[in-house]
Amino acid sequence: MGTIDDAVLMPVSGQIEYSDMVAAMLPLLKFQTSHITLLHVIEAPIETSLGSEGMEEIFKEAEVKVQPLQTWLNKQGYAAEIKIVTARSVASAIAEEAGTSRYSMIFMMKRRRKKGVLGLFSKSVTESVIRNVDCPVVTILV
């Protein structure tokens, strides 16, 4: 049974269809911790303030989207908490949260790279996180 100091950070996007993938990884997580932080980053354009004024509704919507995964993980015996933050860059926000030293591992879903011209311009959040954190990053291709 892990402590809060060896929690797993699991960034999640707005589309939570990952429960089957998470189920496949639960045996690995059992060795790591019983505490999981579900981190949802709301990316704000440069012209938008990062303050919370007027963001309450956006935060509520994000929490409603993440809550089924939290409930599912809690039913599996994990202590899952939701943390929602705003940032200019999703990858930077994940790396900053991981840098708090309370996480022993980051568990990320990696989407398949887009094909064609769109793939040339897409940036990988997962790759950026891996380059900017000290703890291990486990990725699942979805």
Q: What is the CATH number of the domain that holds 74?
A: 3.40.50.620
The CA–CA distances, whole Å, from 30 to 2, 48, 63, 94, 139 equal 9, 40, 25, 22, 16
Contact (Cβ atoms closer than 8 angstroms) between residue 12 and residue 66: yes
pLDDT digits (tens, 9 = 90+) for 28-77: 666 657 788 999 998 876 655 555 566 788 888 889 888 888 888 888 88
Distance CA 137, CA 56 (A): 31
* CA-wise closest residue to 87 among 133, 38, 41: 41
Give me the helix-helix angle, 90-98 and 125-132, nearest 10°.
30
- Containing structural domain, residue 114: 4-141
Q: Whole-model pTM?
A: 0.78
Domain count, the chain: 1
